[in-house]
Amino acid sequence: MRNKIIVAIDGYSSCGKSTIAKQLAKELHYIYADSGAMYRAITLYCLRNDVKITDKHQIRKALHNIHLEFIFNSAAGKSFLHMNDENVELPIRDMIISEKVSIVAAIKEVREFAVAQQHKMGERKGLVMDGRDIGTVVFPQAELKIFMTADIAVRVERRFKELYQVNPQITVEEVKKNLEMRDYLDSNREISPLRKAEDALILDNTNLTIAQQLKIALQWAHERMRSSNESMIFERK
């Protein structure tokens, strides 16, 4: 039996990180953990409880009242993020959360809180996680690191179609401005900025179908699983 590995997927907003991470986890029978959802949930808690997201003291106090857990839903065949026993998958996708999450995620205490929980998830391996600092900060030892990117126009179109389903009033210009703002904040924040790990493989899916990008990622995963297994056999000799 092949050794289980950790797959770390990073990249820009609306590059399909979550889509491919979920598919990989399903194909490999691994656990999928959406790190971005964790930061969104923390942002949701702050907005709901009038926690000033620019006040680090208030943020630190709020973190003591937040419990996050990915719970597998057998009917849906996937895991959902629960915050304090509430399934928050829908509310954390709201546009207001998208506008504020980069600010909250840039706070040192918030990242330390989330990363500590993510480390526990990775202890048993067999994990696929996507975000913006997974391969550089959370799991620098991950056997497979993928950095996803795509043309900005394609990303805007994808995000617009997603948001239009829940908010028909949204405009393409609003989505473009939001993505550009998030790219800037994510890449320029002081704590754990978005960047490609030196040993990450670049997956540009501008002109790829979902099936094509999954095929590529699966090939990479199987190669790393074989390498991990061979290394283990060599160490035992």
What would the pLDDT profile of 151-205 be if each residue is shown by its tens digit? 999 999 999 998 888 889 999 999 999 999 989 988 998 878 899 999 999 999 9
When mean pLDDT is compared across 2-11, 139-148, 199-208, 214-223, the lowest value belongs to 2-11
Whether the model clears a pTM of 0.75, i.e. scores above it, the answer is yes
pLDDT digit string, tens, across residues 63-108: 999 999 888 777 877 778 999 999 999 999 998 999 999 899 889 8
Q: Which domains does the chain have, with CATH numbers?
A: 6-229 (3.40.50.300)
DSSP codes, the chain = -PPP-EEEEEE-TTSSHHHHHHHHHHHHT-EEEEHHHHHHHHHHHHHHTT--TT-HHHHHHHHTT--EEEEEETTTTEEEEEETTEE-TTGGGSHHHHHHHHHHHTSHHHHHHHHHHHHHHHTT--EEEEESSIIIII-TT-SEEEEEE--HHHHHHHHHHHHHTT-TT--HHHHHHHHHHHHHHHHH-SSS-----TTPEEEE-TT--HHHHHHHHHHHHHHHHHHHHHHHHHHH-
